Structures are given as C-alpha cells and as structure tokens.
Structure 1
Amino acid sequence: MSQLQVQEQMVARRASDGDGVKLLRVFGGPNLQRFDPFLMLDEFGSEEAADYIGGFPPHPHRGFETVTYMLQGKMEHRDHIGNVGLLEDGGVQWMTAGKGIIHSEMPKQTEGRMHGFQLWVNLPAERKMIPAQYQDIAADDIPFQQFDGFSVKAIAGQTTVNDIALQGFFSIEDTEVIYLDISLAPQQSVRTPKSDDFNAMVYCYEGDISIGKDAIGNKAKTLSLLSGAGEIVVQNNSTTTARFLLLAGKPLNQPIAQYGPFVMNDQQQIDQAIRDYQNGVLTE
C-alpha cells in the first residue's frame, strides 16, 4: 500500500484564551475547509499555576463539538443545565454544544502541571441545533493497548495500527472521527490506513518523528496535514520516546461560518446566534 505524503506543516503558535490561560494554538482561524471536519486544536500545558489558574469562565458555544483530553491535571466543567463534571489525569470530555450551551472550564488545582488538548469538531447542518449534551469519561474507561514498541490510547473511531484492530471509546456517526494518542519507542514505526475521502493529520507533542516514505521530519509542537489515500507511516528515529496525536475524519463538505464560539453555515445564522446569546435565549 502506498504511503501518504505531507501536504502542509504548521508549528503551534503561542496564544491565550479564557481568563489569560496560556496555550499553543495548533490550528484554527481562516481556511478551515482544509481541516474539515475539524475546526481547531489547542494544546495547553504548564507547571506554573499563573499560566492556567484563571481558567475559562462561563462562555457560550453553538453549532459544533468540543473534545477535551486531559493528560495531567484537574479541570471542572459546569454548564447552564446544572451539570458538573471533573476531568482528571487521562480523562476525556466530549461535549456537543448543538443549539447552545453556556459552560465554564476551571482548574481544580493551584499547583502542579496541567497539560492537555481541546479539539473542535464540526457538526453537519442538520444537527447544529440539537440539544446540548456531554460525556465525561475517566481514563480507565478509554481503551488503551500496549504493544511491542508502541502504545495506543483510542479515544474515538475504528481503525488498525500495524494491522491490529482498534476501537475507540467514542463512535461519531457524522464524521467518523478517529482520535488516537500514540507513544512510539525509539527506532520504531507505526502505520495506519487512511481512505481517500478522509482528512488526516499528525500532531507531535513530545519527541521527534518523521512521516511517509520520504521521512519528512516532524518535530515537537508541529502538525502535519496529510493528503491522498494509503497508509500513514510514522517513524521515531530518535533516542527518546515520541508522543503524537493522530486525527482523521470524514469531511462534511458544507460551508463554514465562524464567529468566536459560534460555528454555523452562513453569516445569517451567526447573527442569529449572537442575538440569541444577547437576548438570553441561546440555549432555549
């Protein structure tokens, strides 16, 4: 089977969000169609409480899903419905904002390391106004498998890695999202198939890897967007373990209109979301 090539690379850039939380924005912003069905990926991580203690006070969302994956730390989620959830080391929250949710994400620690990711996944037009919902999943409930030379935490989707079948915890019907966290030992490689109609990307957050038959280098804090069909082949030619996220999904191929925390299909829908939020009816 042919190996996929790197179409584009981008280095995560420093940013801040919420109440001054320092983070790395891996991708997001203009020209979102090339990431479809994904909209944004942030990595947050610091040993310094001042970098995260402000958290993300109450804020709205409409029209998409957020996936929060905590590697280390504790984050409490509260929403307008009265739900309260605590994400701890290794836990995942998959939240569907749908027609509207107002929630907060606040650290439940005042010292130590907080490290994790938030991924935004688009919803199809016909599901953008469904009722909001979310699931908090503890680390022990997320499928994890250790193999010779690598390990995989399968957050979402169904695929194979080195011909070993994997089933993630979440199955996302509309976009068939695959979300894997892979640890790769030195001098080892992994491969996983990608269909031609899926968009796929690899984000290395620790170590130094290479991708494809041309062994294109992908250093830490760098995302590679892949093109075509075939196998995604990732190699670790360094002397230390590498860790990376592998993301793939079926594009919605629908117009994307975004204004901050609202993601719809046209400007009129964005204007309506803003009015609904200002009038206190976003979630009704």
Structure 2
Amino acid sequence: MTFRPVKSITEAQATMEGAGVHLYRAFGFHKPREFDPFLLFDDFRNDDPKLFEKGFPWHPHRGIETITYVLDGEVEHGDSLGNRGVLGAGSVQWMTAGSGIMHQEMPRANPRGQMHGFQLWANLPSRLKMTEPRYQDIQGSDIPVIIDDDGTAVKIVTGSFWGKRGPVDGIAADPLYLDISIPPNTRKTFPVDTYANTFAYVFAGKGSFRDASNPYGVRVEKEVAGEEINIRDMTGNRTLVNFDTGDEITVQSGPEGIRFLLISGQPIQEPVAWHGPIVMNTQDELRQAMKDLQNGTFIQDQRQ
C-alpha cells in the first residue's frame, strides 16, 4: 500500500449565493483541473434563518451533476422535470443536469433555527454533456452505515467501501462519497483508488492526516494571520485537505474525535468552459447554452 501525502490544506471561504444564502466555499470557479472531476464544493451551515431562508430560486444547470447532502434542517426542491419534494436530515439529492434543467432549492431550518448541508458539483464528460437530465432523491434511512470495531462510523453515499455500496448510482464520475466519524484519539487508515483525485473536508472535531509510520507527516505550510501552520497541527472545522497520489490515507483523530467527508473521483481531463451554473467544453458550446436560455430552448425535448 502507498500512503497518500497531503498536497494542500486550505480553509473554506465565506461567500453568498442564490438569493442571499451565506455559506462557505471550499473550492470552485478556479483551477478546475486540481479537483477534476469535481468543480465546486459548498458548506451551507447556519443557525440564523435570515441568512439562508431566501434560498436558491429557479436557476439553470447544464453539463454537470449536483450532489446535495443535508445533515440538519430540510431543503425543499423542485425542477423542470416535475420533481417536487423535501430533503430531510441525512438525505441526498443527486441531479444530473445533462442537456439542461431548471430547479430551485429552498433551505428550511430545524426547530432550533439551524440548517446544515453540503453541495458538490461534478463535471460531465463531453459525451454526456447533453444527456437526458436525471434526478435521484435518496432518504437517509436508505444510506448504509458501517461501524467498525473501534467505533469508526462510515456512511456510504455512493461508491463501494468495506464490502458495501451506496444507493446513488449511474454517476459519470463513478465517485466515492463517504461521511466518516472517528472516535477520539484513534488512528485509522482508509483505502482509496490510486488513480482518483481525492480530498477530505473536515466539519467537526479535529485530526491530522498523515502516515502512521511518519509521525511528522509531510510538511505543507499555509499562512493564517501571519503565522505558519503545518500538517503536524490538527486540522479542524471547515478545513479542506487535498491529497496527492497513493492508495490509502491515514487519519489521527484528536481528543474530540473527527468527522469529515472523504470524496474521490476519476479525472475527466477535458477542457472546461464555465459560466456560473453551466459547464461545457468549449466557448462555442457555452455561447450556445446562453443563446438557448435567451430564446427559450434551454430545456431539450428528449422525446424526439
């Protein structure tokens, strides 16, 4: 087995999207090849309904897939395919925009006024950019959770892991999407595909991602408020850990334990032409998408 060293550690940055939803963006709109096949990752977490209740009103998508994972609160959704529903805590919505779809997502707080979820955008290869739109709504109770002997819990949203497979299927990037909780002061190693781009997003507790045989890890420095911090220090809330190549990662949890998403996918390695919620391969395709929006032909009739 080959240990995956850490390539970079960054903090998600505060931003606003939709009609004024305050969220944190771990990556997106810059350096699309770095996380290929993934394009964007947002953490929408808040305990003030005024900062998220206006939501994401009707807007278009083409050429990508969006994955919405709700931890707390609810997300009411609708789209041009006629799908309507509410995503509750623990649920996942996987939408293949393909040739074009209009949809809206409206977050709703839990009884304590809190909301928490994630959205990941995955690119589609050129052969599937104009495929028929598709929608999957998976309830939390249908997502398998494996609990290891040491108390480590792994929720498998999609992909195969430890002998089980997640319920979301038919995704072009064939990704692995795991929600992992590790108990306090526990070292754990997880297998990953050598050829897949892989990142972890820490959203609770603290931990260090390093080789168990190398207590000092691989020195990767960042600058925060004028101070240098390296990966020997515990990473915590809203931290994105991007890995280099290898077929396993090691995590040492801190005294509070750690919870993070582990996501990997096969790179598409194609040109990216990107404007907002539309991602194509060429500028001509992007201009055609804009023209389709203007003349009312953005939603393709797949029955022809």
Give TM-score scaled by structure 1 length. Answer: 0.94
Which of 149, 152, 166 is equivalent to 1:150? 152
Structure 1 contact 177–248 (Cα < 8 Å) conserved: yes
Q: Indicate the residue corresponding to 2:285 in structure 1.
A: 269
The 5 Å alignment of 1:226-265 reads: 226-236=243-253, 238-265=254-281
How far apart in 2 are the matches of 1:257 and 1:233? 35
Cα distance 1:108–1:196, how it changes in 2: closer, same or farther (>3 A)?
A: closer
How far apart in 1 are the matches of 2:203 and 2:110? 24
More displaced stretch, 107-116 vs 193-202: 107-116
Q: Which amino acid aligns with 2:158?
A: A
Q: Deviations over 1:112-136 (max 9, x none)?
A: 2110000001111101101111111
Deviation at 1:109, TM superposition (A): 4.4
Which of 192, 197, 200 is equivalent to 1:199? 197
How far apart in 1 are the matches of 2:244 and 2:55? 36
Q: Deviations over 1:70-114 (max 9, x none)?
A: 000111111122210210010000000000001110134486211
Cα distance 1:177–1:240, how it changes in 2: closer, same or farther (>3 A)?
A: same
How far apart in 2 are the matches of 1:180 and 1:194? 11
Q: Indicate the residue corresponding to 1:128 in structure 2.
A: 129
Structure 1 contact 49–110 (Cα < 8 Å) conserved: no
- Could you say what secondary structure the match of 2:34 adopts? helix
Q: Deviations over 1:205-257 (max 9, x none)?
A: 11111112244342221111101113111110x22131100001100111111
How far apart in 1 are the matches of 2:71 and 2:282? 35
Cα distance 1:171–1:234, how it changes in 2: closer, same or farther (>3 A)?
A: farther
- Could you say what secondary structure the match of 1:241 adopts? strand
Unaligned runs of 5+ in 1: none
Q: Indicate the residue corresponding to 1:38 in structure 2.
A: 38
Cα distance 1:200–1:110, how it changes in 2: closer, same or farther (>3 A)?
A: closer
Question: Is 1:188 the counterpart of 2:186 in the alignment?
Answer: yes
Count of aligned pairs: 279
Q: Indicate the residue corresponding to 1:12 in structure 2.
A: 12
Q: Indicate the residue corresponding to 1:27 in structure 2.
A: 27
Runs of 4+ in structure 1 off by over 6 angstroms are none
Q: Which amino acid aligns with 1:36?
A: D
Q: Indicate the residue corresponding to 2:220 in structure 1.
A: none
How far apart in 1 are the matches of 2:20 and 2:127? 35
Q: Deviations over 1:150-200 (max 9, x none)?
A: 1011001113xxxx3332222345322000000111011222223332100
Cα distance 1:58–1:173, how it changes in 2: closer, same or farther (>3 A)?
A: closer
- Could you say what secondary structure the match of 2:260 adopts? strand
Q: Indicate the residue corresponding to 2:223 in structure 1.
A: none
Question: Is 1:166 the counterpart of 2:183 in the alignment?
Answer: no
Give TM-score scaled by structure 2 length. Answer: 0.88
Q: Which amino acid aligns with 2:197?
A: N
Q: Which amino acid aligns with 1:150?
A: T
More displaced stretch, 165-174 vs 247-256: 165-174
Higher alpha-carbon Rg: 2
Cα distance 1:45–1:33, how it changes in 2: closer, same or farther (>3 A)?
A: same
Structure 1 contact 156–172 (Cα < 8 Å) conserved: no
How far apart in 2 are the matches of 1:196 and 1:122? 20
Unaligned runs of 5+ in 2: 218-230
- Could you say what secondary structure the match of 1:99 adopts? coil
